[in-house]
Amino acid sequence: MKKSFFARWRASFVAGLLIVLPGIITLAVVKWVFGTITSFTDTLLFFLPYVLSPKHIYKNGMDGAMFWCWSVLAIVLAVVLISAVGVITRYYFGKRLIMWADSLMLRVPVLNKIYGTIKQVDDAFSSGKKSSFQTVVLVEYPREGIYSIGFITSEQRDEVSKVIKEKCVTVFIPTTPIPTSGFLVLVPEKQVTKLDITVAEGFKYIISLGALAQDAAPPKIK
């Protein structure tokens, strides 16, 4: 039976969407990341209005959003400055300077709480230490009978385990397709199902919306 015009159009549209969607999502993510970064790095070019006319800097010729080329320059400048900080930390003077800056930030009321917490998270994820994501697991979340993929970040042996009266693990459950945010849940260890896949494979599965599953046999459950 010959398909109607609408049926043929719908099949063509779905096929085309599957082809262009990865590119559109990629560009959208890049645009979002670029916009987020430049909202901070553009401030490094505070001196430009003193050197050039506003019409050469801003899109509306007066103030506000900069041309994209200046934002790219700001990102490059930020990379150079961060690299310079990394270089000076190799020397005694640089190490002492960083220690002094840390000490100063930790003495400022209110700010010290925020800075101290962020620094602890940064230390946990630093490249010089073992990955904070230890194991890929399945947990029943957001309700019983529904499973989510998560990553064990630590084993709890503190007040939490004492209150629950059993050993618990901390599990981070990322959102998809951008796993930079998510949910932190404390789960009794016996209720966690460990998967025989790597952390990289787990993230690949989440970012791809579950489309990139393992080609091999299903994950082994430990």
> Model confidence over 56-77: pLDDT tens digits?
999 888 888 889 899 999 999 9
Distance from C-alpha of 43 to C-alpha of 54, rounded to nearest angstrom: 15
- Per-residue confidence (pLDDT) for residue 182, from 0 to 100: 87
- Whether 175 has a pLDDT exceeding 90, the answer reads no
Q: Write down the mean pLDDT value for the chain.
A: 82
Mean pLDDT computed over 206-220: 61
The answer to whether residue 127 scores a pLDDT higher than 90 is: no
205's enclosing H/E stretch is helix 199-207
Q: CA–CA distance from 20 to each of 42, 89, 106, 179 (Å)?
A: 32, 45, 49, 22
Strand order in the sheet with 147-156: 182-188, 168-174, 147-156, 135-140, 193-194
Q: Over the range 45-57, which residues count as b (16 or more CB within 10 Å of their CB) and which as e?
A: beebeeeeeeeeb
43, pLDDT greater than 60: yes
Q: Which two tokens stand for residue 75?
A: 């990102």
What residues contact 46, with CB distance under 8 A and at least 6 apart? none
In this prediction, residue 123 has a pLDDT band, given cuts at 50, 70 and 90, of low
Assess whether pLDDT exceeds 80 at residue 46. yes
pLDDT of residue 164: 76
Q: pLDDT-derived band of residue 217, with 50, 70 and 90 as boundaries?
A: very low
For residues 128 and 86, give the distance between their C-alpha atoms in angstroms, rounded to a whole number. 14
The DSSP letter of residue 130 is: -
| Residue 210 confidence (pLDDT) | 77
What is the pLDDT at residue 206?
84
Residue 35, φ and ψ in degrees, nearest 5: -65, -40
Question: What pLDDT shows up at residue 156?
Answer: 64
